[in-house]
A and B are shown apart, each in its own frame.
Chain A
C-alpha cells in the first residue's frame, strides 16, 4: 500500500484530522506571519512618531464611533497618483500606536492620512457642522451635534492604561496628567501648553469654541484631524535609505 492510501486514517478519525489541520495551518502561519516580527524591512522606527495626546485620543475615539472610516481611508499607498495628490506615502510606523488602525479601504471621500494642517481649525469646524457650507457638492453627512455635545473623558486614563499594556509608551506621568493635558491643548495661550508639548512633541493647542460647554466632541475630533500625518518631518526622512 502506497503512502497515498493512508489518507483514510485522517478521513475516518476526526481528532487526527483536527490535529492535521492545525499542523498545516501553523506552518502557513509560521512562514507568513513570524518573519514580520524579525525582518528588518518590515520594522521601521521613524523619527517624530509619538503617541496621541489625551485630547487627540478622545477625538480618535469619536472618529471610530462615528464610522468616518466607512468613507475615509488613512493610508496613502506607494503609487504615483496617490503621492501626487495626498503627499508622502504612509509609513507603517505612522500608525504603530493605532489600536485599531484606521487604514480602511473605502474612499467615498478623500484619504485623510495627511489632512493635518491642510485646513484651518475654522474650516474643519465649519465643514464638520455642514460640509455643504464650504464644499457645495459634498455628500458628506453633517456632524453638527458634535459641537453641542460635551466630551466625556472620564475614562481617558483607563483608555491610556489599556493602550500602555498594548505597547503604546504612555508613561505613568502622561496618564496621571491626562485631564490637565486635555485642558491645556484647548488653551493656546496658557503656560500649561509648554508642559503638554514636552510630553507630546509637536502637539498643537487649539482654540475651543465650546462656549458654555468646556470641551466639546468637536474640539477633540478637530485636534485629532489636525495632527494626522503631521508628526513626521519628511525633510529629514531619507527615502533612499529606506527602500523596501
Chain B
C-alpha cells in the first residue's frame, strides 16, 4: 500500500516515490497496470465460485464437498458410462449373440473386427506382433496352423483360459524334454530331427531310423502322420510354419529342452464382449477354420 500523505516526486525520473527511503535510496511508486490488477481480482472472485461448486475447504470432520457434488472418481465413472452408452447397442448385441451369429452378421462382424483390432494392439501385439504375425515362441495367428484349434469356439477357449497360464481350465501339457530327461539318446534325437526336417523339406536321404523313433515317441501327441493334435496342443510338423524354428538346430533344441509356451488367460483382465470381439478378429486374420 502506498502512503499517499507523502507526495514526493523523484527529481531524476519525475515519478512519485512511495516515501520509503533506505540509506538515501528512494523507492519509486510504479504500480501494476490496471488491466493486470483487474484480472487478478477476477481470478480471486473465480476462486470463490470454485470453492462453492467443488470440494475445497478442509474442516475438522471432513471437507466441504461443493454444491455440484463432484468427485474425480465419480467423473471417470460417468465418462466410462457415457462410453458404454455410445458403444451401447453394438456391444449389447455382441454380448447377446453367439460367436457364430456375430460372424454371420456382416455389420456386427465388422464392428467386432474393429473393436477386436484395437484391443489386439494394446493387449496381444507385444507377443503376437502388430499384425498377428508372431515371432519365435509366439505363434503366427495369420496362418492356418493351429496349436489349439482355429474354430471360433476353440480360439475363444484359448483366449478365455490361456495356455499353461495357471488357469485351471487352461490348456496344459508340454512338449517333453526328451534330451534333458534322458528319454532319448543323442543319436535318436539326431535321427528324429532329420526325419522332422524331411517332413516339410523332402529329401532323398534315408530317414527311416528317425521315422521309427517318431512312431514310438512322438505319434501319441503329434499323430502318426505328424499333422498334430489340437487336443494336446501338439503342432502340425509338416508345414513350413514354425513356432520355435524348423531348421535342424532349433528342432534339436526343442527335443533336448522341451517347450511349453505361456499364453495368459484373459478372463479377468478383459470383459466378455472384448474377448468375443477379439475371437472374431483373430478368426478373420486368415487362419480361421
Contacts and interface: CB of A to CB of B under 8 A. Distances in A.
Interface of A: 4-5, 8, 31, 34-35, 39-41, 78-80, 83-85, 87, 89, 117-123, 126-127, 133-136, 235, 239, 242-244
Interface string B57-99: 0100011000000011111110110010000000000000000
Given A4-B3, A31-B58, A78 B269 contact: no
Nearest to B72: A78
Given A41-B62, A123-B127, A78 B3 contact: no
Contact of B76 (A78, A119, A127, A242): A78
A35 B60 CA distance: 8
A80 B1 contact: no
Given A40-B62, A80-B76, A135-B126, 5 more contacts: A35-B63, A80-B83, A118-B269, A120-B264, A123-B262
- Give the interface residue-count category, chain B: 20 to 34
Contact of A41 (B63, B138, B261): B63
Contacts of B127: 119-120, 123, 134
Nearest to B165: A120
A39 B1 contact: no
Nearest to B65: A41
Nearest to B125: A135
User: Of residues A34, A119, A235, which shows the largest number of chain B Cβ atoms within 10 Å of its Cβ?
Assistant: A119
B120 to A, nearest CB: 13
A117 B63 CA distance: 38
Contact of B58 (A5, A35, A87, A136): A35
B73 A239 contact: yes
Contact of A39 (B58, B72, B75, B123): B58
B166 to A, nearest CB: 8
A42 B122 CA distance: 32
Contacts of B263: 120
B164 to A, nearest CB: 9
Contact of B3 (A5, A80, A127, A243): A5
A31 B56 CA distance: 11
A134 B58 contact: no
Interface in B101-144: 122-123, 125-127, 129, 135-138
A144 to B, nearest CB: 16
A243 B77 CA distance: 9
29 contacts: A4-B1, A5-B3, A34-B58, A35-B58, A35-B63, A39-B62, A39-B63, A41-B62, A41-B63, A78-B73, A78-B75, A79-B79, A80-B76, A80-B79, A83-B80, A118-B269, A119-B264, A121-B262, A123-B126, A127-B126, A133-B135, A133-B136, A134-B126, A135-B125, A136-B129, A235-B268, A242-B73, A243-B77, A244-B73
Contacts of B268: 235
Given A39-B63, A134-B135, A89 B76 contact: yes
Contact of A119 (B72, B75, B126, B136): B126
B73 A243 contact: yes
A64 B163 CA distance: 32
A84 B83 contact: yes
Nearest to A32: B58
Contacts of A41: 62-63
Contacts of A235: 268
Contacts of A120: 127, 261-264
